[in-house]
Amino acid sequence: MEYFERFAIPHPSPAIYASMVAIGLTVIAIIVGLTYFKKWGYLWHEWLTTVDHKRIGIMYLISALLMLFRGGADAIMMRAQMAVPDNTLLDAQHYNEIFTTHGTVMIIFMAMPFIMAFMNYIVPLQIGARDVAFPRLNALSFWLFFMGAMLLNISFVIGGSPDAGWTNYFPLANNEFSQSVGTNYYLFALQISGLGTLITGINMIVTILKMRAPGMTLMKMPMFTWSSLVANVIIVFAFPVLTVALTMGTFDRLFATNFFTTSDGGMDMLWANFFWVWGHPEVYILILPAFGIYSEIISTFSGRNLYGYKSMVGSMVIISFLSFLVWTHHFFTMGQGALTNSIFSITTMAIAVPTGVKIFNWLFTLWKGKIVFTTPMLYSMLFIPTFTIGGVTGVMLGMSAADYQYHNTMFLVAHFHMVIIPGVVFAMLAGLHYYWPKMFGFMLNEKIGKWTAWIIAMSTLLAFMPMFFSGLDGQARRMYTYSASTGFGLWNMLSFIGAIGLTIGFILIVYNVIYSIRYSPRNVGSDPWDARTLEWATPSPVPYYNFAKVPHVISTEALWDAKYRQHDLFPEPYEKIHMPNNSGVPFILGCIFFAWGFSFVFGMWIPTILTTIGIFICMAHRSLEKDPGHYVPVEKVKATESKLRGSQL
Amino acid sequence: MKKSWLRLIGLSTIVTMLTGCDPLLVLDPKGPQAQVQAKDIMLSIGIMSFIVLIVFVLLAYMLVKFRASKQSPDYKPPHIKGSTKVEIICVGIPVLIVAYLSFISVESNYKVESTPEKYKQEEPLIIYASTSNWKWHFSYPEEDIETVNYLYIPAERPIEFKLYSYGPITSFWIPQLGGQKYAMADMVNTLHLAADLPGEYMGRNANFNGKGFAENTFNVTAVTQDEFADWVKEVKATAEPLTEEKFNTLLEPGHVGQSTYTGTHLTFLPAPEGENGGHQHGTSHTKDHASQQNDH
């Protein structure tokens, strides 16, 4: 291809120029705003260089919400295109790019940072630690993720978006059939952010295993921490497979190797195997922390301990194990024979058992409780029935013979949206409302919150239930149009209306945040929900060192014991606290990785070599640097505590 | 809770609609394989509805009975660890259900992966179905004819489709005759189907393969065995022969209408099976041929 053609210049669509201008103006507005309000120093010292797990968590949260809207815009365009037969709103190429980025953005750049936000923010607090095990590595993880996300997001204005589906099946994704640089963007965006995720996985496992408060044995960890531990173990096992697969794909596209080609010994199903060996566990990486959040919320608002703690833990461990034994169900139709299909059919359906155990445990946590309907609880209660529908259709898909009819149809699309939206998105929204006072010191408005929860839940049903029917009626997924004679029109129109409902719901969340910033009362105290676990024992917002004194734990519900069973949570005297120093290197390294990925996408080899050297210089800098951190003196801790806690002490 | 009841009503509507008057394609099978699959689907919907019902009822009960607004302010919920009895039930019943469904699943799998029981005594008709972007090539080696974008098949006779692809992975699917299977570049997959009745059926590629995916469909006409023999005779008498040149132009990406030829492309470009299979990693002449074609 000609040099400039790779950048898609000149571009056929004026909408792209409009987007470029919009992006340019936004960047200028941000720069002018920061300069005018003299916030550059604040941004650099307090955020870009921070190694504080709470700030990193908040940055993950903001990124996730932004990406939710990016992926949501894609979704609404897709549903609008499909709403009526023979629609010409989008052409095939556009539609293909949009569903590809919708899937990629929602899984990798929305759901993942959403769970990372909560893991980062909550886990150290919940185990009574002052930070994660490797704070600076944690900052690097975030910046790698963020730069990966940005790399994918600029694709549509420079060079063209990936268009081979979020599963990126080769040989369709290879040069011969996918000639734009879109797939290169996909490969590097996932590679860079995947590295960040893998580093987080290691970091979190070490944090949870080594940094728990005195007395907190493994079987006394709160459920969210348990779910995070299990999810991070899955990350550490699954993500290297993605790394290898993406590397092989990159070699195929840029260096003419033949791992996944149609000739010269390439095996196209090899990509599918690699992708789903990572991809299926990925689903549980997302859902387990979500289950953890539900466990915290349901137990708090039932006023009761979590029912069946041990079986909750056990079921998660079993799910994590089974998650690696089911990847083949993604291609029952690949012709691997009845025996293989039978084995994977059974392992797939088996996951329903531990998942069912969790549902029943939540139901029995409500039993004899004192249920208060707050917004987080409402999301959790809407989750149970919606997720159950999604879950049982998963069992249906697991029956391999029947899957021959569901495979690649809207039935499948309906199923995974009905598990991921209630399972992950509802949980994250519930967590957002639940932990908001801890993060920012005030509550989100309850009335708007409840309205939003109802609208989102009902719209989810309206948007995705019709797809079960259109799938059984023969509508394949990823078709950009269909004729009126197929009879899919009604189902797709219903879905479109549901999608509009979802859009309204998500806009209401933004409205709620703005409304609450202006009108919500401050000083809600450190424990506004009468919660049970350790993260609520800190003042809100949490001081940077988290705990002034090291907490001592006697059960899974440390704070509850302190409040109602006269347990002395903080028996230790004040001592000086060791904290890590801020560093700009993770951010700079992230920027270099972005430039590295961008150069690679376009095969610009000199910048690629220079940035590669830059990456190694940053790593060498860290190896040779002496940075022992700093101590916070006792007087300063005491002063901060009395200021934050006020009359509470 | 009000909403749970709404869901219940919704669910019962689903079930009635699935069994109702205007049948959805997959649930309106016209062949033994699709029948097995439709039966499995209906059975699993039944069992799953039962599970959904239990969860809904339990949830509704808990939410109505134990909400704080109905309790005295000084009620303190007890600390309950769990109960072995409850957990045996919560694990045991799902295990039984999954075991039963596994049994059904395995049994059906072997059924759909072999010649339909009903037509075992009949000699299967072999049809090679291959795709190139974005069309279908159907070769009838025994009859020595080939069609593009439409299928003519005899009813009440088992058919063995041999599936492969020139390029991206595609998926061969005729919802009313039976579920799909992938067509890939480096191996041949076999799909056993049969039609019980003459009729017109919709067929399509179900696996995304780029821009022309939405229109990557084909018509299936099932006729009686005599009519099929007549059709073959007629094609042989009237259709153009399929030359290598003609086939190469057909392989180029794009949409073409329906067409019919005598002879098949298998004679000059064999399917990737046996010694021509991609998994053999050999250097057979056909592979060189194929890669040369990609170079054009």
What tens digit of pLDDT does each residue of A417-447 get?
Answer: 999 999 999 999 999 999 999 999 999 999 9
B194–chain A nearest CA distance, Å: 15
Instruction: Tell me whether A350 touches chain B (CB under 8 Å).
Output: yes
How much of chain A, in percent, has pLDDT values that exceed 70? 98
What is the dihedral sign for C-alpha A119, A123, A125, A130?
A: negative
Set of chain B residues whose Cβ sits within 8 Å of the Cβ of A267: 186, 278-279
What is the dihedral sign for C-alpha A388, A394, A398, A399?
A: positive
Set of chain B residues whose Cβ sits within 8 Å of the Cβ of A96: 208, 210-211, 213
Identify the band that residue B281 occupies on the pLDDT scale cut at 50, 70 and 90.
very low
- Per-residue pLDDT, B292: 43
Average pLDDT over residues B242-256: 94
Residue to test with chain B: of A176, A180, A252, A262, most B Cβ within 10 A:
A262
Q: In chain B, whose CA is at the least distance from the CA of A272?
A: B169
Q: Are A393 and A468 in contact (CB under 8 A)?
A: yes
- Per-residue pLDDT, B1: 47
Place of tokens 């929602």: A106
A window 58-97, beta carbon within 8 A of B: 92-93, 96
Q: What is the spatial distance between Cα A353 and Cα B51, in angstroms, rounded to a whole number?
A: 12
Identify the band that residue A5 occupies on the pLDDT scale cut at 50, 70 and 90.
confident
Residue to test with chain B: of A175, A404, A480, most B Cβ within 10 A:
A404
Contact A333 B182 (CB under 8 A): yes
Set of chain B residues whose Cβ sits within 8 Å of the Cβ of A303: 68, 76-77
Contact A404 B179 (CB under 8 A): yes
Q: What is the spatial distance between Cα A182 and Cα A200, in angstroms, rounded to a whole number?
A: 27
Q: What is the spatial distance between Cα A263 and Cα A249, in angstroms, rounded to a whole number?
A: 15
- Per-residue pLDDT, A14: 77
- DSSP code for B187: B
**H or E element: which one contains A577?**
strand A577-579
- Per-residue pLDDT, A24: 87
B226–chain A nearest CA distance, Å: 30
A window 479-508, beta carbon within 8 A of B: 479-482
Average pLDDT over residues B253-257: 92
Contact B41 A474 (CB under 8 A): no
What is the dihedral sign for C-alpha B3, B4, B5, B10?
A: positive
Sheet strands (E) in chain B = 125-132, 135-140, 145-148, 150-154, 159-166, 170-174, 178-183, 189-193, 199-205, 217-223, 240-241, 259-262
Set of chain B residues whose Cβ sits within 8 Å of the Cβ of A309: 81-82
A window 422-481, beta carbon within 8 A of B: 457, 461, 465, 468-469, 472-474, 476-481
A564–chain B nearest CA distance, Å: 11
Q: Which of A96, A308, A405 sits opposite B41 (nearest CB)?
A: A405
Contact B86 A177 (CB under 8 A): no
Identify the band that residue A523 occupies on the pLDDT scale cut at 50, 70 and 90.
confident
B296–chain A nearest CA distance, Å: 11
3-state secondary structure of A263: coil
Instruction: Single out the residue of B59, B11, B55, B53 nearest to residue A377, CA to CA.
Output: B59
- Per-residue pLDDT, B83: 87
Identify the band that residue B20 occupies on the pLDDT scale cut at 50, 70 and 90.
very low
Q: Which of B1, B108, B290 sits opposite A263 (nearest CB)?
A: B290
Q: Which of B40, B80, B184 sits opposite A269 (nearest CB)?
A: B184
Instruction: Tell me whether A396 touches chain B (CB under 8 Å).
Output: yes
- The beta-carbon contacts of A43-50 under 8 Å, at least 24 apart in sequence, are A44/A584, A45/A582, A48/A584, A48/A587, A49/A139, A49/A582, A49/A583, A49/A584, A49/A586, A49/A587, A50/A139, A50/A582
Q: In chain A, whose CA is at the least distance from the CA of B71?
A: A370
**H or E element: which one contains A579?**
strand A577-579
Identify the band that residue A6 occupies on the pLDDT scale cut at 50, 70 and 90.
confident
Average pLDDT over residues A118-136: 95
Contact A472 B18 (CB under 8 A): yes
Set of chain B residues whose Cβ sits within 8 Å of the Cβ of A490: none
Average per-residue pLDDT for chain A? 93
B285 pLDDT more than 50? no
Contact B87 A308 (CB under 8 A): yes
Separation in Å, CA A166 to CA A275, A499, A502, A551, B208: 10, 20, 22, 45, 11
Average pLDDT over residues B83-106: 93
Amino acid at B126: I
Q: What is the spatial distance between Cα B114 and Cα A341, in angstroms, rounded to a whole number?
A: 14
Alpha helices in B113-219 (DSSP H): none
Q: Model confidence over A301-341: pLDDT tens digits?
A: 999 999 999 999 999 999 999 999 999 999 999 988 899 99
Identify the band that residue A263 occupies on the pLDDT scale cut at 50, 70 and 90.
confident
ipTM score for this prediction: 0.91
Q: Model confidence over A165-200: pLDDT tens digits?
A: 999 999 999 998 998 899 999 999 999 999 999 999
Contact B113 A395 (CB under 8 A): no
A646 pLDDT more than 70? no
